[in-house]
Amino acid sequence: MKNKIDKGLQSMYTPLKSFTYLASRNWGIKMMNFSARMFNGKKIKGLHNEERFIPSKNGGPDIRVRIFKPLNAKGKLPLLQYIHGGGYILGSPEMMPNLDIIKQFIEKRPCIVIAPAYRKALDAPYPAAFNDCYDTLLWAKENADELGIYDDNFMVAGHSGGGGLTAAVTLKARDTGDFNIAFQMPFYPMIDDLQNTNSAKEMTSVPVWNTKSNKKGWDSYLKDIRVNNKNVPAYAAAARNKDYTNFPPTISFVGDMEPFKDETIAYIDALKQEDIDVKFKLYKGAYHGFDAYVPNAQISKDAVKFTYDSFGEFYDKYMKL
């Protein structure tokens, strides 16, 4: 399978398999999350950094959030919620490369970024992470004046599991009207718990996230639902949604050598069928997280440029300032 990988990504093909190994085992997941906590509170130079604990609306513990603002901010700014990745089982707002992603969004267009440290599935399965992310935006709307944000037009973005949560938050916002999403950016999102597409089944030996680690992520996230023999709701796995009317404009990309390829393409196609404005790219020979783990490869640079150029374009087009 390595010979199908983009040449610029091949050098990290074998080293990154250690991550894949750890991400499919409980002890490895716990070890990586312990390591991630050492970076809690890490700051981004050149920005105003804040850490707060905000109340849950669903009886959960307070939610730790990071808030980042331009130093020279004057007046109100749009809000972008950035939801970090990690297959629902790993990560934090400060874990590599999330702070760099946040900084680049703010540098591309003036905005305030809020990043929730949502609960992880080994300790708190669905709906914990989803509720934490959704409650963060409800809190932001209620505290818009204090935060210095517009309360009527949010942006939501995330990679991998964070992309899945982005799609789920966007879906509920569409359903309830609790707040408006100007546009969403679910990058290579984890949205299909059924895992029966060709890419979900065939990517058994790719690095970072493969068929086995994908099963581990979903088994952990949906544990309570499956134990209680309940149906999986679309807020848990956004690919289960069948109604794509009135969705916001969407930016996404995915590699063709990762489990999420087929489900991402199906999601984008469903949006296009409803005439939703979509910007999407498929990167040939790219495995999961290639843009973050091999940033110097040309294909990664292309994906990063696509991300922020598309963000700037949609910001200018859809943010009502």
Residue 253: strand pairing partners: 281
Evaluate whether 168 touches 192 at the Cβ level (below 8 Å): no
Residue 2 pLDDT: 80
pTM of the full structure: 0.97
C-alpha dihedral (131, 66, 238, 31), degrees to nearest 10: -90
Query: What is the DSSP track for 166-195?
Result: HHHHHHHHHHH-SS-EEEEEEES----TT-
Cα(226)–Cα(203) distance, rounded to whole angstroms? 24
pLDDT digits (tens, 9 = 90+) for 140-177: 999 999 999 999 899 999 999 999 999 999 999 999 99
Q: Tens-of-pLDDT digits for all 321 residues of the chain?
A: 788 999 999 999 999 999 999 999 999 999 999 999 989 999 999 999 999 999 999 899 999 999 999 998 889 999 999 999 999 999 999 999 999 999 999 999 999 999 999 999 999 999 999 999 999 999 999 999 999 999 989 999 999 999 999 999 999 999 999 999 999 999 999 999 999 999 999 999 999 999 999 999 999 999 999 887 789 999 999 999 999 999 999 999 999 999 999 999 999 999 999 999 999 999 999 999 999 999 999 999 999 999 999 999 999 999 977
C-alpha dihedral (208, 209, 212, 217), degrees to nearest 10: 120
Residue 198 pLDDT: 98
Cα(221)–Cα(254) distance, rounded to whole angstroms? 22
Domains of the chain: 2-315 (3.40.50.1820)
Residue 193 pLDDT: 98
Evaluate whether 188 touches 162 at the Cβ level (below 8 Å): no
Residue 317 pLDDT: 97
Residue 74 pLDDT: 85
Query: What is the DSSP track for 264-315?
Result: HHHHHHHHHHTT--EEEEEETT--TTHHHHSTTSHHHHHHHHHHHHHHHHHH
Residue 3 pLDDT: 84
Q: Running DSSP on this structure, what letter comes out for residue 112? A: E
Q: What is the b/e burial string over 88-110, where b = at least 16 CB atoms within 10 angstroms of the residue's CB?
A: bbbbbbbbebbbebbbebbeebb
Residue 228 pLDDT: 78
Residue 245 pLDDT: 98
The number of CA neighbours under 13 Å toward the Cβ of 311 is 27
pLDDT digits (tens, 9 = 90+) for 229-285: 789 999 999 999 999 999 999 999 999 999 999 999 999 999 999 999 999 999 999
